[in-house]
Structure 1
Amino acid sequence: MASRSVGRRRADRRPNRRRKIDIPQGHGHGHGHGHGDHVVDTSVVDSDAIVARRVRIVVAAVLAPLLAAAVIAMIVMWPGGGVKVASYQTDSARGEVTALKPCAQQKDQCDEATVKVTSGPDQGKSVAVQVPKAGQAPLKIEVGQSLMLGIQKGAPLEQRYQYVDHDRTMPLLLLAAIFAVAVVALSRWRGFAALIALAVTAVTLTQFILPAILNGSNPLVVAVVGGAVIMAIALFLTHGINAESSIALSGTIAALGLTVLLGWFFTKFCQLSGLASEGASGVQALVPGVDLKGLLVAGIVIGALGVLDDVTVTQAAAVWELSAANPTATRRELVGAGLRIGRAHVASVVNTLVLAYAGAALPILMTFAIQGVPGRYVISTEMVAMEIVRGLVGSLGIIAAVPLTTALAAMAVADRSRDLISTEPELLHEPA
């Protein structure tokens, strides 16, 4: 029985081994087929016993303990009950403008809108709401538009509702639907899985990260824990639970850790208080004990997560394809080829990230430009220095993700066929 089992295992290995070894040779016989017709099957790398053994070591020694620690920390820090500030709580409603007329007083400042309430405790009723007149607000209010309303509890109906903003629910839902259709149309089931991962990210942000910070937990620890869980779910859900995804996730977490350290160090070194962040003063007024410096670094970490995911998945996939095409490639060859691929990718991604942060600070930069403030003075102000630290620290994390992931992937898949020959040389002499 034992000999038959060994024979079956050897017979099962032979076709895969022959296919792997023959892949590079196929490029040299292309008399009847163009190079474009060749498709590299990376599944043979995932199913390789040598790769599986190496990846299991990485998962058992590093990845599994880190993910277990993140899940335990999330459970411990999970906010219990509501964490809203009582003085800031308010009810809300929506309504459609059915008529407009000038206010009885201050006719040049406001209009009185008749609004049919479409959601809230007075749904279906028409109420009077004072709204800014054209020219007194950034957007003109017209009949037929949908508005967001605040509710003053206990007030009479004619004074109960206040204008808050335009209701943009329908346009945003339409945009989200177009985005979802485009993703699924291009990527099919993988795109559908990516949309589920996006939903998980949104739930984690709104139900764990933000409430846990408001509940008094350290913002940096919350961001790292939430980010690790988000990346694990997103990668495995989108790309499957396999060796390649495990290596990509390992590289992501390693780069994430470096980003945290750099962010924390340069926030201290550049003497950033975090107060210059948009909305930071409001948060501090509502939650006086919040750690604004930690919140700043947490923002850097979360902002870099999506790009880290992109870079690590690309690098792992590149090394997997290189190994599938050439199973005898050494670790040095795979690392060299992977880094050559990564250089071009990082150059464009880093530029994208820096431009994204620069775009967020564009109104501030324009204000300084109008005032003719010297460049060195502008850079030293916290508003601008904070965006520079965000952009450069996030970019450093992305740069580090390339060699880290490439090295991990190369360690997993290097010398696959040579290792098989050295461990079981008798397979080479068996008949096909």
Structure 2
Amino acid sequence: MSRDVFLNDTTLRDGEQAPGVAFTTAEKLELAESLAAAGVPEIEIGTPIMGTEEIETIRAAVARRLPVRLMAWCRMKARDLDAAIESGVEAVNLSLPASDIQLAAKLGLDQAGALQLIEDMVKRAVAAGFFVAVGCEDASRADGDHLARVIETAARAGASRVRLADTVGILDPFSTFELVAQLVAKSEIDLEFHAHNDLGLAGANTLAAIRAGARHASVTVLGLGERAGNAALEEVAAAMAVIDGADTGIELTALPDLAAQVAWAARRQTAASKPVVGADVFTHESGTHVAGLLKDSHAYQGLDPTLVGRCQRIVIGKHSGATAIARVLSESGRDLDPDLAAAMVARVRRKAAETKSVVTASQLVELHDGMCSEARLANLAGPGQLVDERADTTVVRSGRMR
């Protein structure tokens, strides 16, 4: 695969660990197909040890023969590996705590015991014909020398990749870069970074890890995942393309529909301000911004919406100016009279403040046509008549609005 960076999607495993999320078999299969169609090279499809239903779902995905690598997530245990064998996948992520605190609390192991377990289980998985990745849970709180020994042991036993997980989301981009760079310098195999978003830094940390030499990044659509979630596929893919010009192989125009599909299956609302796929991220209301955008579409947009299958949208609201109002009115076949512009802006602002929402095109036309009718009536009333627009301080005197 001629990619600069591999984005390995775990929406169907880690994403499903988000509270209340439970994909049906049909939803998992449809999502796997959509992920493959979007160019995702590897899908962490599930956790076979969960039981018969999970294994059957994974087997159904394998039967689709999608052009992706399907990977099962396993604990570093023989029975987990046996369940993966039963599921029919070609790859496994054998996960084990890397930090002393988790090794002791979860498994009662020390570092030496962990290394021996890794060697034994990786050899067993390789002998079974699997592509093997070793997952270092809580790597961000692990001893650096131990992590280096884990990578060395995994490589010697036949693993093809090691995943460094910021399981509790405590890293920042600077510490991420330092950690990954040090390990890349010593590693004979590829490293992958798996971020969590507890401090809102999962995407930034993922980019830092890639800059430091990690060739793989674990992501989920919409950043779906436990607690605050994971690094978002759509954000990392778009950032890699725009900032670094890197080839991830992801079809960026497929991302909005993919995000909508995941949101529906997860029964989650997508925030309007969600980067890349949110309803409002290419929407402009501010008068100064719109005036600039109408002259040059790049004036207030760093991400070209067409790159991700979106388009720019102008809406009318409290911060809109006459230029934007005139533009939207023209799309409805109306020309804004310059003499009415100031009054129209004032009425729009009042309407937006009252409703705490944008003013729709039909509402804007209604406001405009009403104002034009008032102006005509004022003209008929003749000189000396006064019509007071109290809220927007516009008056009609001597038959002329100003």
TM-score normalized by the length of structure 1: 0.19
Which structure exhibits the higher relative contact order, with contacts defined as CA atoms closer than 8 Å and separated by 6 or more residues? 1
TM-score normalized by the length of structure 2: 0.21
Q: Which has the higher helix share?
A: 1
Q: Which has the higher strand share?
A: 2
